[in-house]
Structure 1
Amino acid sequence: MELKFFDTISELDQYAAQLFATTLANKPHAALGLATGSTPVGIYGKIIEMYQRGEISFRDATTFNLDEYVGLPPEHDQSYAYYMKQHLFAHIDLPGKQAHLPKGTAPDLAAECKEYDRMLEEQPVDIQLLGLGHNGHIGFNEPNGELQGGTHIVELKEETREANARFFGSLDEVPKQAVTMGVGSILKARTVLLVVKGADKAEIVKRALTGPITTECPASLLQTHANVIVLLDKEAGRLL
C-alpha cells in the first residue's frame, strides 16, 4: 500500500487525475472504475482540464461506476448517472455506449446485478477510484457481519443516508437502497486509488488502513490488495 500526503486539495486532485492520464497513455482502451460524491469532483475537474488541453482522450476507454441509487431514473438530478454527466461525461470524448453504471430502475435488479458482473469479468478494471465513507464503506458496501463479493442490492445504513441528505431536499427523499459493486469486484481492479479528504475522515482512515481487516469496516479489506494507492490531504491523514 502506497500512501501519499498532500498540502493542498488541488495538488491531490491533480495527482489523481495524472494517474488516470498515465493509465490511458499506457493503455488507451483501459477500463476505468469511477466514483461519485464530493471527493471526486475536483479530480474530474482536473481531468476535464487535461482533456481540453489535448493531453488525454477517452475515445477508446470504458468506464464502470461503483453504484447507483435504486429507484432514481438517470435524469433525476441526484442519480449518479446525472452526477457523472454533469461532472465528467458531458465534457470529455467518452462514447456514451462505453460508460456503464448499474441501472437502479431496472425491472429485474437481480438480473441487472448479474449483467454488471458479467461486464466486469469481460473487461477487468485497470484503475478503480474510491472514496471512503465515515463508517468505512466503499462503494455502497456497508459494514456488516458478512459482505457480498459481486454486484448486489444493499440497504443503506441510516448514517449513510443522513450523510447524503445534504444533496436532497430532506432525509425522506434519500433512497433506502442502492445497487453497488461488491468488495470482491472492487478488489479485482488492477490498481485501487483511495482518495480521502477532511479532518472528519481521520479516524476512519486510521481504522481502515491500520486496523484489523474486518467486514465491519469494508475499506479495511483493501489491505489485502497488492496495489493500493492512498491519497490523503493533511487533515485526513493526521492520525497516521
Structure 2
Amino acid sequence: MEIIIGSEEAIGERGADLFSALLTARPDAVLGLATGSSPLRIYDALAARVRAGEVSFAQARAFTLDEYVGLPAGHPCSYRRVIEDDFTSHVDFAPGAVQGPDGTAADLAAACAAYEAAIAAAGGIDLQILGIGTDGHIGFNEPGSSLGSRTRVKTLTAQTRRDNARFFGDDVDAVPRHCLTQGIGTILSARQIVLVATGQAKAEAVAQMAEGPVSALWPATALQHHPRVTVLLDEAAASRLQLADYYRDAYAGRHLVAASR
C-alpha cells in the first residue's frame, strides 16, 4: 500500500495521473468509479485533461460501485445521476459505456448477479477508485461485511445514513435504508485500486485501514491484502497515522530512485 500525503489539489492531480497513465497504455481500460466528495478533485482534473486533448475515455468502459435501492434513475441523489453530473458528462465516454447496479430491479438478487457477470464479461476492472466512510466502509460494505463478499443488497448503518443526509436536504429519513454494492471481494478483484480521503472526519478510518489489524469492523482494512493500492490523503485525513513521516520519506525516496535511473 503506497500512501501519498499532500494538498487536495496535489492528490487530485496525482490520482488523475494514474488514470491518464492507464488510458494511455490501454485506451479500452475498464474503470471502477465511485461517487461522493472524495474523488471530485480527480474527476475535475481528468475533465480538464480531456478538454485539453491530453487523455480520452472514448474507448473505455466503467462500472460504478453502488446504488441506492428504490430511487428512480433520474432522482438527483441516485448514484447513476450523481456520477453523470459529477464526472461522466464532462468527459468523452461513449453512450452506454458506464454501467451501474440496478436499484430499481424487481429481483434485486438477480440484478446483483447480473452486475457481477457484466464486470466479469468486461474482463474485470483495471483501476478502481474508492472513498472511505467514517466507519471504514468502502463501497457500501458496512462494518461486519464479509471480506470475500460480492455484489449484493446491504442495509445501511445509522452512521452512514447520517453522513449522507446532507445530500438529502439534511433529512435522515429521506436517505434509503438499503443499497446494492459491489462486495469487498469484488473490489479486491480490481487490478489496481486508488483510495482518496480528505478531512479530519476520515482520519480514524484511514489510520485503521492502513495501520490497524485486518478486521470486518473496519472493512477498508481488507485493502492491506491487495498488491497494488495507492492511498491519496490530505494532511487532515493523514493526521492519525503513526507512520506519516515514513510514508512521506518513502514517497520522496521513490522519486529519487526514479530520477537516478
**Alignment TM class, shorter chain as reference:** over 0.9
How many pairs are equivalent?
239
- Deviation at residue 96 of structure 1 after TM alignment: 2.5
Question: What secondary structure, in the 3-state scheme, does the structure 1 residue paired with 2:89 have?
Answer: helix
| Amino acid corresponding to residue 179 of structure 1 in structure 2 | L
Q: Normalized against structure 1, the TM-score is what?
A: 0.97
In the alignment, the residues of structure 2 paired with residue 60 and residue 16 of structure 1 have an alpha-carbon distance, to the nearest angstrom, of 20
In the alignment, the residues of structure 2 paired with residue 233 and residue 60 of structure 1 have an alpha-carbon distance, to the nearest angstrom, of 32
Matches within 5 A, 1:175-190: 175-190=176-191
Question: Given the alignment of the two structures, is residue 210 of structure 1 paired with residue 227 of structure 2, yes or no?
Answer: no
Matches within 5 A, 1:46-61: 46-61=45-60
- Deviation at residue 147 of structure 1 after TM alignment: 4.8
Residues 66-117 of structure 1: CA deviation (Å, up to 9, x unaligned): 0000011111000111111111111211012110111110121111100110
Structure 2 stretches lacking a partner, 5+ long: 242-261
**2:161 match:** 161
In the alignment, the residues of structure 1 paired with residue 23 and residue 187 of structure 2 have an alpha-carbon distance, to the nearest angstrom, of 19
Q: Normalized against structure 2, the TM-score is what?
A: 0.89
Question: What secondary structure, in the 3-state scheme, does the structure 2 residue paired with 1:129 have?
Answer: strand
Question: What secondary structure, in the 3-state scheme, does the structure 1 residue paired with 2:163 have?
Answer: helix
| Amino acid corresponding to residue 66 of structure 1 in structure 2 | L
**2:225 match:** 224
**1:72 match:** 71
User: Which one is further off, 180-189 or 80-89?
Assistant: 80-89
Question: What secondary structure, in the 3-state scheme, does the structure 2 residue paired with 1:96 have?
Answer: coil
Alignment RMSD, CA only?
1.1
**1:236 match:** 237
In the alignment, the residues of structure 1 paired with residue 166 and residue 84 of structure 2 have an alpha-carbon distance, to the nearest angstrom, of 20
**1:100 match:** 99
The alignment-based identity, stated in percent, is 43
| Amino acid corresponding to residue 227 of structure 2 in structure 1 | A
Question: Given the alignment of the two structures, is residue 195 of structure 1 paired with residue 196 of structure 2, yes or no?
Answer: yes
User: Which one is further off, 197-206 or 157-166?
Assistant: 197-206
- Deviation at residue 148 of structure 1 after TM alignment: 5.4
**1:85 match:** 84
Structure 1 stretches lacking a partner, 5+ long: none
| Amino acid corresponding to residue 11 of structure 1 in structure 2 | A
Matches within 5 A, 1:21-60: 21-60=20-59
Question: What secondary structure, in the 3-state scheme, does the structure 2 residue paired with 1:207 have?
Answer: helix
Question: Given the alignment of the two structures, is residue 141 of structure 1 paired with residue 141 of structure 2, yes or no?
Answer: yes
Question: What secondary structure, in the 3-state scheme, does the structure 1 residue paired with 2:62 have?
Answer: strand
Given the superposition, is the C-alpha separation of residues 5 and 117 from structure 1 closer, same or farther in structure 2, using an over 3 Å criterion? same
In the alignment, the residues of structure 2 paired with residue 165 and residue 56 of structure 1 have an alpha-carbon distance, to the nearest angstrom, of 35
Question: What secondary structure, in the 3-state scheme, does the structure 1 residue paired with 2:96 have?
Answer: helix
